[in-house]
Amino acid sequence: MEFTVGSAIRFGWETFKKRPWFFVGTTVVIAIIYIAIGIVSAVVDEIFGGSLDEATIPGQIVSSLLGALLGMGVTAFYLAAHDNSETAELSLLWHPRPFWKFLGTSILASLAIIIGFVLLVVPGIIAMVLFMFSTFIVIDKGLGPIEAMKESMRITAGHRWPLLGLIVVLSLIGMVGALALGVGLLVAIPVATLAFTHAYRVLSGYDGQTAVPVDARLAA
């Protein structure tokens, strides 16, 4: 299976159409959880003397930890939805393993991208493409931060211009969704995330067969 921007977008749209209300509902649930995380972080900030305009270190730590947990769940959910949209369930959003590997990978990849943008814009863009699948690899294969980032570099080799094109197109889809009074995001977000997941699956050698559940792989 060969990766192209068009094939990824088509996959995202066709998969979304199989269970549109399920994906819309899941997006709403994820948004509610994000809001809840923001509220919890704001409460922590208040406790430690901060405010909505002035975050505290404890508040930021709580936000990062809870955000990582949600990110893990969202990643696991979309990997499963990609492989078999008919059997994907909302309960997949609870996927707390491997937490520290995921958090470490998120931090290292983000730092690499930020440093790249600080030095020059181009290195930041390159780093963004190189490490774009790092957290997916942690959830999918259980690798540690360095190994996941190296694997992301490996599978993106030779496809970096198309992947940059995919990032641009997915960003445009999100912008169009936001312009539709924000309601369009309920469609744009799952379609874009499914397309992103498809790109990962194709480049990582997924053969189109039903994948082994992520938890089973980690337990092996």
Cβ atoms of 170 and 195 within 8 Å: the answer is yes
Environment class of residue 132 by beta-carbon count within 10 Å: exposed (0-12), middle (13-18) or buried (19+)? Answer: buried
Helix (H) or strand (E) segment spanning residue 59? helix 57-83
**Does the pLDDT value for residue 5 go beyond 50?**
yes
- Given a cut of 60, whether residue 29 has pLDDT beyond it is yes
pTM of the predicted protein model: 0.89
Tell me which residue of 197, 205, 115, 112 sits closest to 154, measured CA to CA.
Answer: 205
By C-alpha distance, which of 48, 29, 16 is closest to 188?
16
DSSP assignment letter at 209 = S
pLDDT at 212: 43
Ranges of each domain in the chain: 5-219
The string of DSSP codes covering 79-141 is: HHHHH-TTT--GGGG---TTHHHHHHHHHHHHHHHHHHHHH-HHHHHHHHHHTTTHHHHHHHH
User: pLDDT tens digit string along 163-207?
Assistant: 999 999 999 999 998 987 778 999 999 999 999 999 999 999 876
Residue partners of 179: CB distance under 8 A and separation at least 6 = none
User: Looking at 7-11, 116-120, 135-139, which range is the least confident one?
Assistant: 116-120
Q: Do 79 and 197 touch, CB atoms closer than 8 A?
A: yes
Please choose, from the candidates 148, 82, 79, 71, the residue with its C-alpha nearest in 3D space to the C-alpha of residue 109. 148
C-alpha–C-alpha distance, residues 135 and 132, integer Å: 8
**Which of 124, 170, 128, 118 is closest to 153 using CA atoms?**
128
